[in-house]
Amino acid sequence: MELIFSAQGHSCDLALHPISEKTAQLIHEHGSDVYSMKPLDWWRKGKTATWGMRINDMCNIKITLDGEPVELDYRLLTADPMKIRRRMYLDSKAKYLCVLGFDNEICNFSWKWDNVKKFDPAHFEFMVHQWDRIMGEQGYFILDEVRYESGFANHHDWCDASGFSLIPPRVIDLEEVRRSLTQEDIKLEGDPFPAPRGNSNTVSK
């Protein structure tokens, strides 16, 4: 049997980078104009970059088995998301972080498995990133990869992309975060990184 998992909605290409004080000041002064400046032309190359499909109200998911639709409890997608932990940066020498990229490109993703012998929705595995506190938005999930019975799809396609707009760079002041956590006696393990507040480009907690 042929199993297809398809998703249509907003794709995103986001990166979280340690940056210098000089670059943080550059972003403060120029805002989104920094995307066209050479010091930030590496923004897609970070180890914490993520690219995939946003799981939100705009995301339309369809699963078919030999062309016939099948049901899935979509809560399974976000049941066990990956999170960026505080220790990763707070235990480092980094002073600032910056979030760069886009999250509003209309696109179609599909994963197709050939020769599926038996279908069980519980056999799906979803690699989903959770960036709530990084992006300052509740339930900010990004679907990165789908596997079935631990196997990668035989065919993985993305198409019909229709343009995007880059988000305003978000700068996180790690020194402020460290001071805040020390004052509140909060352990650094466990929770995802603190979120931006409101429309501010600088995060204190």
What is the spatial distance between Cα 130 and Cα 165, in angstroms, rounded to a whole number? 21
Instruction: Enter the pTM of the model.
Output: 0.77
pLDDT of residue 181: 65
| CB atoms near residue 107 (< 10 Å) | 20
| Per-block mean pLDDT, blocks of 10 residues, the chain (205 long) | 96 86 89 78 67 92 96 90 67 79 93 94 92 85 94 90 87 77 50 36 30
Q: Is 150 left (phi over 0), alpha (psi -120 to 50) or beta?
A: left
pLDDT of residue 84: 63
pLDDT of residue 147: 95
Tell me if 61 sits within 8 A of 74, measured CB to CB.
Answer: yes
pLDDT of residue 87: 59
